Amino acid sequence: MLIVLVLQMSFGLIIFLGKAIGVLFTFSPKRIRRTYKGLAERFIKQNFIQTLSNIAMIGVGFGTAALVIVLSLFNGMEQTLTGMFNRHNPELKIIPAEGKSFPYTWSLRNNIENVEGIKAITEIIEDKVLILYNNKQKVVTMKGVSENFALQTQIDTTVVLGTNKLFSNDTRYVLVGSGVYQELGLRLRDSMYPLQFWYPKRKGKASLDPGKAFNKKIIQAGGVFVAEPQFDQATVIVSLKFANSLLNYGNLRTGLEIKTTDEYSAENVKSELKKVLGDDFVIKTRPEQQAQVLRALKIEKFFTYGTFALILGIASFNVFFALAMLSIEKGHDMSILKSMGATNKMIGKIFLFEGSLVALSGAIFGLLSGYIFCFSQEKFKWISTGANNGILDAYPVETRWEDFLIICLTVTTITVFASIIPAKNAMKNAGR
């Protein structure tokens, strides 16, 4: 829209300069009026409507390109967020339908293992705990996992400092998120000042000493992971035995993470598990585990699309003005066409075709420009986010054919609506 406005102002400036030059180099006032009037009329008849049509086409083109770029950017953000969440989200997650935990019995384990397509089951104990380190404290989510947790997600591949193991030479370690690591100023494998984990006792007598109301365990920080900012800010991963010794959950578990085989899809395994477990459990796939974030992103994408479609509608006013002036200028030509047998409906179709041609030309220009921009950004990453964290160094983009189809339909609809009134006016002028 800004470029269209600049073009319109430039056109007005050209006319103004032409008048100024005429004043400077023509001495007779009568000659000034006659010369300038003739030049202006000739320029308007030959170039003005064509220029206005070109401006309308360029405006539609730039609006289309902006729509392509913005929608592709949202697609890239969705893909990036999905990849980040998949680093720590399992393929399937089983949680109780009611309450915080459930008893994990041998019969329940056997029922789950008998479902075809299951490769591994990871037991989870997850709860909020208080950790202390070197006079600093923070409430975090402690996630206790069984030994096969590395099969479930890519969390072990995201370790950037230290080890990705929870055991080493009979020593227990905790994996901490990068946000926890930075906030507490941790040092890895610090035997002098290990991390202290505090959790309120589930049962016990009341005491005047607040320290006796908590279970306490110490453990060294073994590694730092970078998976997803919100997860990294408040999550630590420990072994299931350590979590159980601190929380005293016994045979209770807060969740189960399921790894499926390559021959079976997560959706098929979920439907079979639903038959076995019934309504006592909720089974979530990866998209369902991050449904709120993806839903918010899609809503934002929809409203952004509506905003840019409105801007595109404003740009289509140039099409309206171009066709309106064309219907006035071509009044004589329309009379000739009518004398040759053309009907008013046929003349209206000509103007609709003219508007559609402007829309098609602008849409093709915009789609190609937007695709080239997105392709170059995806290939060369020349627009940086300014965050040199190794996760999102450049703005992600992803072009999808369905977006191109929606944009084409949007541009065509808006421009055709903008052409209807000038077409009707042309039919009225032709009928006179």
Helix (H, G, I), strand (E, B) or coil at 341: coil
Instruction: Output the pLDDT for position 293.
Output: 87
Q: Quickly state the pLDDT bin for 42 (edges 50, 70, 90).
A: low
Quick one: average pLDDT of 395-405?
91
Q: What is the pTM of this model?
A: 0.75
Q: Quickly state the pLDDT bin for 17 (edges 50, 70, 90).
A: very low
Q: Which position has the higher pLDDT, 393 or 282?
A: 282
Q: Quickly state the pLDDT bin for 193 (edges 50, 70, 90).
A: confident
Strongest mean pLDDT among 7-11, 287-291, 337-341, 380-384: 287-291
Quick one: average pLDDT of 350-376?
86
Helices (H) and strands (E) in the chain, counts: 14, 13
pLDDT per residue over 123-136, tens digit each?
A: 999 999 999 998 89
Instruction: Output the pLDDT for position 12.
Output: 45
Mean pLDDT check: name the lowest of 38-52, 114-128, 158-172, 233-247: 38-52
Mean pLDDT check: name the lowest of 32-36, 116-120, 150-154, 194-198: 32-36
Q: Which position has the higher pLDDT, 207 or 68?
A: 68
Q: How many CB atoms lie within 10 A of CB 250?
A: 11
Instruction: Output the pLDDT for position 19.
Output: 46
Average pLDDT, the chain: 82
Q: HSE on the CB side for 325, CA within 13 Å?
A: 16
Ordered DSSP codes for 20-86: HHHHHH---HHHHHHHHHHHHHHHIIIIIHHHHHHHHHHHHHHHHHHHHHHHHHHHHHHHHHHHHHH
Judged on CB neighbours under 10 Å (0-12, 13-18, 19+), 267 is exposed
Q: What is the dihedral of CA 139, 216, 200, 236, to 10 degrees?
A: 30
Q: Which position has the higher pLDDT, 261 or 14?
A: 261
Instruction: Output the pLDDT for position 41.
Output: 55
Q: Say whether pLDDT at 206 is over 60.
A: no
Q: Say whether pLDDT at 279 is over 60.
A: yes
Instruction: Output the pLDDT for position 367.
Output: 92
Quick one: average pLDDT of 400-408?
90
CA 125 centroid distance within chain: 32
CA distance 305 to 34: 51
Distances (CA, A) of 398 to 73, 392, 404: 7, 14, 12
Q: Across-strand partners of 172? A: 167
Instruction: Output the pLDDT for position 223.
Output: 93
In this prediction, what percent of the chain has a pLDDT beyond 90?
41
Q: How many CB atoms lie within 10 A of CB 8?
A: 15
Instruction: Output the pLDDT for position 6.
Output: 45
Instruction: Output the pLDDT for position 152.
Output: 82
Q: Quickly state the pLDDT bin for 334 (edges 50, 70, 90).
A: confident
CA distance 181 to 166: 16
Mean pLDDT check: name the lowest of 126-130, 218-222, 382-386, 405-409: 382-386
Instruction: Output the pLDDT for position 291.
Output: 87
